[in-house]
Amino acid sequence: MSYYVRLMVFARRAKKSVVTDTQKLRDKLLKRLEVMFAMAEESAKVAKTARQKTDFMRVAGYIAQVMNSLSKTFDEATVTKDLEELEKMINEAMAKGKGKGA
């Protein structure tokens, strides 16, 4: 019985640790996304072309969607996919600006 009790205590501690670590990771990601959102907004303000401004506004909107999703649930695979899509969008917006001499 003692082994069973210790095993249960260990399992409960592990579960609590996962929940705590997940919450810390979520908070860290949300803070970084907030900074990225502000940067995307600023990039839209100083964009050289209307197209680039639109692209950075799309990036800001997508960041807001990721933040909303992350604040509701945490699914590492989904967040990773969302962050990869965000990186792709940023690269596209930057490439369009370079083509116009920005």
Q: Cα(first)–Cα(last) distance of the chain, in Å? A: 71
Amino acid identity, residue 26?
R
Whether residue 89 contacts residue 48, with contact meaning beta carbons closer than 8 Å, is answered with no
Return the pLDDT at 102.
45
Q: How many residues are listed for the chain in this entry?
A: 102
Task: Find the mean pLDDT for residues 11-23.
Answer: 66
Q: The whole model's pTM is what?
A: 0.63
Residue extents of the structural domains in the chain: 29-99
- In this prediction, what percent of the chain has a pLDDT beyond 70? 71
Residue 98 pLDDT exceeds 70? no
